[in-house]
Structure formats: C-alpha cells, structure tokens
Amino acid sequence: MGGRKDRSAVLVISKDAERGSCIVVPITHREPEGRTVGIEVPAAVRMTLGLDDRRQWIIISEGNRFVWPGPDLRPVPDAQPPSVIYGRIPRSLFVDVLTQLQTLIRAKRTTVVAR
C-alpha cells in the first residue's frame, strides 16, 4: 500500500490470537483499476458503518499485517464512546472478501505489508 494514510479497513484474518497479529484490507473511494482487485461496499453497508455516501471498495489485492491492538489503530471520528471499530460488515460480504482474498493469495496476486 503506498504511503501511510488513515483509512477505514476490514479485519480479515486474525493470524495469531495469542499475540494479536492480524491482516486488514483497506476501504477506499478509488475504484480498482489495472491489477488492483476490489469489492464494492454496498450503500446499505456504508450507511450502517457510518461511512460517507460516495462509492467505496474493499481492496483485497493489498493489505497490512500488524498487532491488534496497537499504535496503527485510529479512533473513528466523532465516535461516542470512543472506538476504533466502525462496526461489522454482513457475513455474506465478509465471506466474499475472505474467499476472494484466499484465491488471490494462492495465485500470488496480493501484497501484504508488515507494519
């Protein structure tokens, strides 16, 4: 993923629950192009999570690995009580993200950066 930028993300895999290692994939307004693979976030899900109403994608061809909880987490703006969690995506969307991410990992078409 390019530079460091605060953005919404989807926690996809908790690799090591004991140490809190996890993998997240970003949510962005930028429509996937070229080799970038993304799944559009449905409007109803954006609304439920408190995201803006512009089209957004979960980018599954790139991700970050880090320790949860840790210094990489940022609070949700204006959340009361303060939280780093926007909410849960529907199970069907999560399964779609996870399944497609696993396919890309097997095909060596995804990049995961350790933070």
Cis before 75 (ω within 30): no
Over the stretch 48-88, which tens digit does the pLDDT of each residue have?
988 999 999 999 999 888 887 777 778 888 888 888 888 88
Q: Cα(95)–Cα(105) distance, rounded to whole angstroms? A: 15
pLDDT of 105 reads 87
Tokens read off for 82: 């303060």
Q: Cα(70)–Cα(27) distance, rounded to whole angstroms? A: 19
Angle among Cα 1, 11, 107 to the nearest 5 degrees reads 60
Nearest to 21 by CA among 12, 29, 31, 8: 12
Q: At residue 110, what is the residue type?
A: T
For a pLDDT cut of 70, what percent of the chain falls above it? 86
